[in-house]
Amino acid sequence: MNNTQKRIPVTVITGFLGSGKTTLLNRILTENHGKRIAVIENEFGEIGIDHQLVIQSDEEIFEMNNGCICCTVRGDLIRILSKLRQRRDRFDSIIIETTGLADPAPVAQTFFVDEEIKKDFVLDAIVTVVDCKHIWQHIDDSDEAQKQVGFADVVLLNKTDLIDSVQLDALEKRVQNLNQGAKTYRTLNAQIEMDRILNIGGFNLDRAMEVEPQFLEPERPYEWSAIYQLKPGNYKITTHKGPDLAMNLFFDQAPGSDLKSLKSLDQKAAQSFSTNPQSLSSGESISQLGHLYQLDLQRSNSEFIIPISKEGFFALFTEHHPEEFQMKFEKSEGTLDPLISLTHKPNHQHDDEVSSVGIVTQGSFNGQRLNQFITTLLSEKGVDIYRMKGVVSLIGEKNRIIFQGVHMLFEAQPGNPWESDIRENSIIFIGRNLDRKSLTEGIHSCLETKL
């Protein structure tokens, strides 16, 4: 058995918002394929809903809902994969379902540039689900939508019932122009034979390099890192006002002073940047090694103390480049220069106009009133609402009601029974130029009973 066969195969399911990724995942989990599957889910938004939309089965499901998987959550992905490595006898393969706004390149990158992950996992395929009706609204102006198709090994042209054959032929041609190497299938409700998407050995590194020449240059949640040699005493980081009001920073002991020592801390730093930072105001201390801090930079001049008790080498990772804030590392004698420093490829940026509004409230809704509110909302703002989903309680209904919407399309169906008298509703809107106040007030106005 060669190394590839020993490694755990990983399938990445991606696709723009509302394409049918969760439908495909549920289909995989209920098919009689005899495989034990661990699932990693990622959501873009303030609240997590997708875990409630996935059919509960014997599979292990891990959820990451603190950001896009291609940004700082990547450290979370490495952490979960490291945990799965320790229990590899409990499953045969892994499926990662990304958020609809994810660029799949950094996800795939993890399996090639991270040495520890590369030993035990192999990227089997990227499966991209395409919403046949709505993809035209995004594919020409969304970098993420184009890369989801461009990096795919398999493309599912899903929801084929929503367009005619002429439109479908045109879409297939457009997809093939973006990615001639991918296998393309036309599907309804993401129905596909499992052997066309699982364990197919389909990921092609050469094609990935064609789509993204810098594919093997990892994106990091930090832009700069350095190593300093420090003796016992108090040091300080000084900053001036810059383009942002805060900056995350990671400080830890380094094994040495060379480039290899700095790079050896990459994974630990990336994982740290996926955690919640401790906020620091000017004058406070960076007192713990291996801990993520968020520096408050609202003052024109700020300083943060770093107490060192033992001589050694220390690594500093900063979210932004020091030049943006005129940042200096100082002791009483003056500014200290690092022994070595690196500038890293920054994370890609999402469209700032695309955001999410999450609403969590207890009680039960008047079904007619809620339906009228959503119908009116979609008729007026449907073009800007890329995705809408929720799990809600309706008056007179014993089961959860699960609803999902993509632009103007909307559907609802019963889910599992409520397990207690306390019913918590979770609703999320993802789209462009969302009015948080109006959405929140509109949803609350549909409640019939409140707890």
pLDDT tens digits for range 197-212: 998 887 877 777 777 6
- The verdict on pTM exceeding 0.85 is no
Q: Is the pLDDT of residue 419 over 90?
A: no
Axis-axis angle for helices 73-85, 104-113 (nearest 10): 50
Antiparallel, parallel or unpaired: β 8-14 and 121-131: parallel
**By the 8 A CB rule, do 138 and 109 touch?**
no
Tell me which amino acid residue 43 is: E
Q: Is the pLDDT of residue 368 over 50?
A: yes
450: which 2 tokens?
Answer: 């409140």
Burial 310-326 (b: 16+ CB within 10 A, else e): eebbbbbbbbbebebbe
Least confident segment among 46-60, 165-179, 290-304: 46-60
Average pLDDT estimate for 172-183: 84
Q: Is the pLDDT of residue 289 over 80?
A: yes
**By the 8 A CB rule, do 85 and 7 touch?**
no
Least confident segment among 64-73, 201-210, 295-304: 64-73
Average pLDDT estimate for 172-189: 88
Report CA torsion sign: 137, 138, 141, 147.
Answer: negative
Please give the pLDDT value at position 216: 66
308: which 2 tokens?
Answer: 């060192």
The H or E element spanning position 4 is helix 3-6
Axis-axis angle for helices 367-381, 436-444 (nearest 10): 160
Domain covering 3-211 assigned CATH 3.40.50.300 in the classification? yes
Paired with 360 in beta bridges are: 426
Angstrom distance (rounded) from CA 220 to CA 224? 9
Please give the pLDDT value at position 66: 39
The strand order across the sheet containing 340-343 reads: 278-280, 291-296, 246-254, 312-318, 224-230, 340-343
**By the 8 A CB rule, do 21 and 143 touch?**
no
- Tell me: the pLDDT tens digits for 70-91? 444 456 677 788 888 888 888 8
Please give the pLDDT value at position 171: 92
347: which 2 tokens?
Answer: 């994370």
Phi, psi of 258 (to 5 degrees): -100, 175
Length of the chain equals 451
| Higher pLDDT pick, 177 / 323 | 323
Q: Which of 282, 328, 323, 321 is nearest to 305 (CA)?
A: 282
Q: Is the pLDDT of residue 371 over 60?
A: yes
* Residue % of the chain over a pLDDT of 70: 84
Q: Could you please report the per-residue DSSP string of 339-393?
A: SEEEE-PBPP---TTEEEEEEEEESEE-HHHHHHHHHHHHHHHTTTEEEEEEEE-
Q: Which of 145, 144, 149 is nearest to 126 (CA)?
A: 149
- Specify the fold of 354-449: Hypothetical Protein Yjia; Chain: A;domain 2 (3.30.1220)
**By the 8 A CB rule, do 237 and 325 touch?**
no
Q: Which of 148-157, 246-255, 324-333, 399-408 has the highest mean pLDDT?
A: 246-255
Q: Is the pLDDT of residue 311 over 90?
A: yes
| Higher pLDDT pick, 36 / 231 | 231
Q: Which of 7-21, 313-327, 332-346 has the highest mean pLDDT?
A: 313-327
CA-CA distances (angstroms) from residue 237 to 329, 332, 371?
5, 12, 55
Tell me which amino acid residue 299 is: R
| Higher pLDDT pick, 327 / 110 | 327
Q: Is the pLDDT of residue 22 over 70?
A: yes
**By the 8 A CB rule, do 399 and 415 touch?**
yes
Please give the pLDDT value at position 67: 41
Q: How far apart are the first and last CA of the chain?
A: 59
- Tell me: the pLDDT tens digits for 223-241? 899 999 999 999 999 998 8
CATH 3.40.50.300 boundaries in the chain: 3-211
CATH 3.30.1220.10 boundaries in the chain: 354-449
Phi, psi of 80 (to 5 degrees): -65, -40
Helix (H, G, I), strand (E, B) or coil at 291: strand
**By the 8 A CB rule, do 439 and 357 touch?**
yes
| Higher pLDDT pick, 347 / 255 | 255
